[in-house]
Amino acid sequence: MADEKHVTLRYFASVREALGCDTERWQTRAATVAALHAELLNRGAPWADALSAKGLRMAHNHAMVAGEVALSAGDEVAFFPPVTGG
């Protein structure tokens, strides 16, 4: 469909560990990063568990965002747990 787009999802630290992968391609109709986040939560376990942590941080094309950023085909969205150590 015309409004569907592929984005790259990147997961870090405990989110990566919970999901068992660090990167995946995802086809979405979400218009914003926040809508994509909600879509991923609806995938069920383990995504709902890994991505529902209070303080979860999101980045859109390498910039930290609050969520109401528009998505385009080919974008990268990354998810970071509340505390990521070095």
pLDDT tens profile 16-62: 999 999 999 999 999 999 999 999 999 999 999 999 988 999 999 99
pLDDT at 83: 72
* Coil, helix or strand at residue 78: strand
> In whole angstroms, what is the distance from residue 68 CA to residue 46 CA?
24
Beta bridge partners of 10: 23, 78
pLDDT at 46: 96
pLDDT at 86 over 70: no
Beta bridge partners of 33: none
Q: Domains of the chain by range and CATH?
A: 5-80 (3.10.20.30)
Q: How many CB atoms lie within 10 A of CB 67?
A: 13
Indicate the Cα dihedral angle 59, 62, 63, 65, nearest 10°: -10
pLDDT at 3: 84
